[in-house]
Amino acid sequence: MKIAMIGTGYVGLVSGVCFSDFGHDVVCVDKDPKKIELLERGEVPIYEPGLDDLMAKNVAAGRLSFTGDLKTAVDGAEAVFIAVGTPTRRGDGHADLTYVMAAAAEIADALTGYAVIVTKSTVPVGTNRQVKKTVHKANPTAEFDVASNPEFLREGAAIDDFMRPDRVVVGVQNDRAAEVMNQIYRPLYLRDFPIMTTDLESAEMIKYAANAFLATKITFINEIAALCERTGADVKTVSQGMGLDGRIGNKFLHAGPGYGGSCFPKDTQALARMGQDHSMPMQLTETVIKVNDEIKRRMIDKVIDLCGGSVNGKVIAVLGVTFKPNTDDMRDSPSLTIVPALVGGGAKVRIVDPQGRREGEALLPGANWFEDVYKATQNADAVVILTEWNEFRALDLKRIVKRMTTPVMADLRNIYSQKDAKRAGFLAYTSVGREDYG
């Protein structure tokens, strides 16, 4: 099957590479010439574990190529995937559909025969019908169907998520489009991964409902964590006790500095907006957004308290700034709230992050970047763990304590314990939802 993939970001590139690995012929398009230049040279513009090898394998097999020219990619394609960004529209929280609709109009011009136009981007309910109208208006004789195929991959584990999904959701309007989608996902279907065929609207809604639910689960445990701090309970023990209940499950119950990333913040906002537009306010989601903002601000207060009431003039080593480990994605990371507040308070912030620098340097002005945790903590007044990268999980804490001026730690991912910190000689230790000392 010949597939065109419009957009080579985190979703488009991973999907394109994985479809080519299924055996399909895939041409990936991006309007950013720098990305295409890199991809044509065999370089991956983003950090995603395993993507470089899988991409090289499929390019070598002749099944995967890249172009800046949408027309060539769409020519003869049986399925054209739209995987462009849908960021928050400035001012009103709505998903900005400018890129989706622009892509739809371009595809309309380029169609040469029957094709299914598949929206992989996360889009509000009703968007696929709008795509259909846009294509029809731009090219009234075009023979096509639309399909909604929201993506559930997680950055950092994207290939495994794509190749071994919990489910694939496909929204269609007729059997012809369903058959094309079945052919595309046949390798997964043969391996018993559930492929769920729905109407367009339900497919679009499933994605927002799933993300808002997960954001709610994280925010719930973060709020419980705040109460644990006041009452002497330990949120790690509480999460474990809750998670063993099969109806609840143990995933997404790790207390931390608030959710961030390229999806949860914008998708909860878009769902809230959708609710307002339909006079059906999503009160729970609206509250989750508010509580998550408060949680991020509480983290700033924690660090200020740890530093004795002011960070002015303090040297603070921040470990991790990407929104989670194993990605270079900085979009809506809690670090974008916390680090500027520390810099603004007069702290000298030193950042260590295995992949965050390329994006993060411009987003976090006033901070200095270090390659090594031990160098960053030399003569530091505080160490703050913001992202739980593996390399931060087994640090030589005693060695860090010896280098610091005032050895205190804010472990905002709960990767160490009070006992670990005491044993290493930290004078004070704070984490999320557990007892502090110092």
What residue ranges bind ligand NAD (CB under 6 A)?
6-12, 29-32, 35, 70, 83-86, 99, 102-103, 106, 121-122, 151, 153, 155, 262-263
End-to-end CA distance of the chain: 63
- What gap in Å lies between CA 221 and CA 216, rounded to an integer? 9
In whole angstroms, the minimum distance from the beta carbon of 112 to ligand NAD comes to 18
In the complex, residue closest to ligand NAD by CB:
9
In whole angstroms, the minimum distance from the beta carbon of 68 to ligand NAD comes to 8
Vertex 286, ends 118 and 414: CA angle to 5°?
90
Is the CB of residue 149 less than 8 Å from the CB of residue 181?
Answer: yes
Decide: helix, strand or coil at residue 184. helix
Neighbours of 55 (CB within 10 A): 24
Alpha-carbon torsion (341, 342, 346, 351), positive or negative: negative
Q: Tell me the two tokens of residue 244.
A: 């063993």
Decide: helix, strand or coil at residue 115. strand
Nearest alpha-carbon partner for 390 in 435, 295, 300, 324: 324
Burial tier of 354 (Cβ tally within 10 Å: 0-12, 13-18, 19+): middle
Nearer of residues 32 and 109 to ligand NAD, judged by Cβ: 32
Strand order in the sheet with 408-411: 368-370, 348-352, 315-319, 382-385, 408-411, 428-431
Amino acid at 208: Y
In whole angstroms, the minimum distance from the beta carbon of 331 to ligand NAD comes to 8
In whole angstroms, the minimum distance from the beta carbon of 234 to ligand NAD comes to 31
In whole angstroms, the minimum distance from the beta carbon of 229 to ligand NAD comes to 31
Nearest alpha-carbon partner for 47 in 288, 357, 338, 266: 357
Structural element, H or E, at residue 429 = strand 428-431
Catalytic residues: 263
Nearer of residues 207 and 314 to ligand NAD, judged by Cβ: 207
**E strands present in 261-335:** 315-319
- What gap in Å lies between CA 130 and CA 355, rounded to an integer? 38
- What gap in Å lies between CA 129 and CA 204, rounded to an integer? 11
- What gap in Å lies between CA 252 and CA 290, rounded to an integer? 19
In whole angstroms, the minimum distance from the beta carbon of 47 to ligand NAD comes to 12
- What gap in Å lies between CA 207 and CA 148, rounded to an integer? 10
In whole angstroms, the minimum distance from the beta carbon of 155 to ligand NAD comes to 4
- What gap in Å lies between CA 78 and CA 3, rounded to an integer? 6
Nearer of residues 223 and 267 to ligand NAD, judged by Cβ: 267
Q: Tell me the two tokens of residue 213.
A: 């639910």
Is the CB of residue 347 less than 8 Å from the CB of residue 316?
Answer: yes
Amino acid at 277: D
